[in-house]
A and B are shown apart, each in its own frame.
Chain A
Amino acid sequence: MSSRAEDRVFARAPECAFREIDGEAFIVSPKTGEAHLLNPTGSFIWSKLDGAATAGMIAEALAGEFDVGAETALADVSEFLDELGGLELVAEIGQEFNDVSY
């Protein structure tokens, strides 16, 4: 697995239920029983998690959409995806197969 931040690929946890409400992603995890309402930037990132886009590609799209620098966007995307990983809402492709919970 690549260790470069921009090459990391994440996928939504398959059990998560989600909808967009008025432009914001609302996610429910049956596994943890928790609900999460993401803000607009978080929702934008969530919408890009198709299991193929790299963090770098998502950061580039984010920079275009929200007028932030490429470096800042990548740092923010990486931090956010790690946070979602901690909440068991996403898994990093290449790692999830070692995790029996997915």
Chain B
Amino acid sequence: MGESEERGGGALEAAFEKAKRAGLTLSAHFELTRRCNLRCRHCYVCGGDERREMSTEQVFRALDVLADSGTLFVTFTGGEPLVRRDFFEIAERAAEKNFAVRIFTNGTLIDEAAADRIAALNPLEVGISVYGATAETHDGITMSPGSFEKSVAAARALLGRGVTVTVKSVIMKPNFGEYGALIDMAVEMGAKYVFDATVFPRDDGGREPLELRLDDDMLWETLRDDRLTGRKPGKPAPDVCRGPVCDLSTATAGISPEGDIFPCLQLRKRVGNINEIGRLGDVRDAWMDIISGLTRETENEKRYNCEYKKYCARCPGLAELEDGSATGPSQWACRAARLRAKAKME
């Protein structure tokens, strides 16, 4: 009796399955602000009006709602979350309320004192965006001279304090030639890494970032790189198909700077506002209607059921932004699925 029932990745998956069955939201991505101190060429986040952001008290109340709703993981993201003057008040409140805290940041505002405060939060992870192995490449993408040096220094400062750091990157044409060196750099520092080649349109519909996307030859190369796919020697690559609406469920949520609740920060279909509810369960019906509607419509979409379906990692949010429909074909997902199938056949 009494012993741990599950540990490690098995426990995480089991907890998410339980949460889905119980209708609980186990994880929330909390976009604290859209403001940022960098000007990344590929960034999809637009605008950023401090006057429209939730106040400190409203964010505190939102954290109360999340805690009362059973949410365990909270990821503070942005924009750049540390541009908020009350960032540490918010993060410290989250730690006090027993959340497992993740912070996604560009790291440029993390000096030694900030690193101390972050380490004291005992965060589960700090994800730091780095877009190249050299200052020239990274700073060229962030449009901010000196940002590479600051981001890397932040990663090292946090690692030196025992914080788990993940180097997060988007592989694009301007940094394609350096992604291998960036993996080496992350490993040398003792950081984890998560790279992705998906570039989104701006959330106001602007398509400029799409020009940075990898061409087919580059994408093909990344899809065959075991360091990126997670494939072990002699084993097939992990399945990528997560169903018609990826893994959308009420087990995860996105919260905007204004408090609007979305199934995901990439899928801006509002289900309510966290300032107007007592628990996330209050908006569950509206939430489920959106997810079940998207699932049904996508499954009925003839072009979704094509020969490459099992290689398809479509994102409904991306499909809506780029192709005009969350349930229709996603040109990016189709391109990647065809190349994955080709890689599998080799």
**With A17-B72, A21-B26 in contact, is A36–B7 under 8 Å at CB?**
yes
Interface centre among B1, B70, B72 (most CB of A within 10 A): B1
**Cβ of A18: which chain B residues have Cβ within 8 Å of it?**
72, 98
Bound state CA distance, A34 and B19, in angstroms?
18
Report the minimum CB–CB distance from A83 to chain B (whole Å): 6
**Cβ of A20: which chain B residues have Cβ within 8 Å of it?**
70
Bound state CA distance, A26 and B6, in angstroms?
10
**Cβ of A31: which chain B residues have Cβ within 8 Å of it?**
122
Interface centre among A26, A38, A77, A87 (most CB of B within 10 A): A26
Q: Let me know if B113 is at the binding interface, CB within 8 A.
A: no
Q: Let me know if A79 is at the binding interface, CB within 8 A.
A: yes
**Cβ of B6: which chain A residues have Cβ within 8 Å of it?**
35-37
User: Per a CB cutoff under 8 Å, which of A16, A21, A41 touches B2?
Assistant: A41
**Cβ of A77: which chain B residues have Cβ within 8 Å of it?**
2
Bound state CA distance, A45 and B24, in angstroms?
23
A27-56 residues with Cβ-Cβ distance < 8 A to B are: 28, 30-31, 33-39, 41-42, 45
Contact at B11–A30, with CB atoms within 8 Å? no
User: Per a CB cutoff under 8 Å, which of B3, B7, B73, B100 touches A39?
Assistant: B3
Contact at B3–A34, with CB atoms within 8 Å? no
**With A28-B72, A36-B7 in contact, is A21–B124 under 8 Å at CB?**
no
Q: Let me know if B71 is at the binding interface, CB within 8 A.
A: yes
Contact at B8–A19, with CB atoms within 8 Å? no
Report the minimum CB–CB distance from A84 to chain B (whole Å): 8
Q: Mark A3-22, 1 if CB is under 8 A from B, else 0.
A: 00000000000111111111
**Cβ of B101: which chain A residues have Cβ within 8 Å of it?**
17
B interface secondary structure, majority: mixed
Contact at A17–B100, with CB atoms within 8 Å? yes
**Cβ of A34: which chain B residues have Cβ within 8 Å of it?**
7-8, 11
Contact at A83–B3, with CB atoms within 8 Å? yes
Contact at B99–A17, with CB atoms within 8 Å? yes
| Count of B interface residues, CB-CB < 8 Å | 32
Bound state CA distance, A39 and B124, in angstroms?
23
Contact at A39–B2, with CB atoms within 8 Å? yes
Contact at A26–B72, with CB atoms within 8 Å? yes
Report the minimum CB–CB distance from A67 to chain B (whole Å): 12
**With A17-B100, A21-B15, A21-B24 in contact, is A28–B124 under 8 Å at CB?**
yes
A73-91 residues with Cβ-Cβ distance < 8 A to B are: 76-77, 79-80, 83-84, 87
Q: Mark B1-34, 1 if CB is under 8 A from A, else 0.
A: 1111111110110110011011010100000000
Report the minimum CB–CB distance from B169 to chain A (whole Å): 21
B101-128 residues with Cβ-Cβ distance < 8 A to A are: 101, 122-124
Contact at B70–A19, with CB atoms within 8 Å? yes
Report the minimum CB–CB distance from A77 to chain B (whole Å): 7
Q: Let me know if B164 is at the binding interface, CB within 8 A.
A: yes
**Cβ of A15: which chain B residues have Cβ within 8 Å of it?**
122
Q: List 28 A-B contacts (CB under 8 A).
A: A17-B124, A19-B26, A19-B71, A22-B24, A24-B5, A24-B18, A26-B11, A26-B18, A28-B100, A30-B124, A33-B124, A35-B7, A35-B11, A35-B15, A36-B6, A37-B4, A37-B5, A37-B15, A38-B4, A38-B5, A39-B2, A41-B1, A41-B2, A42-B4, A76-B1, A83-B4, A84-B4, A87-B4
Taking Cβ atoms with an 8 Å cutoff, the residues of B that contact A are 1-9, 11-12, 14-15, 18-19, 21-22, 24, 26, 67, 70-73, 98-101, 122-124, 164
Report the 4 A-B pairs with minimum CB-CB distance, sorted nearest first: A17-B100, A15-B122, A80-B2, A35-B11
A-B contact sample (18 more), CB < 8 A, given A14-B122, A19-B26, A20-B70: A17-B73, A17-B100, A19-B71, A22-B18, A22-B22, A24-B5, A30-B100, A30-B123, A30-B164, A35-B7, A37-B5, A37-B14, A38-B5, A42-B2, A76-B2, A79-B3, A84-B4, A87-B7
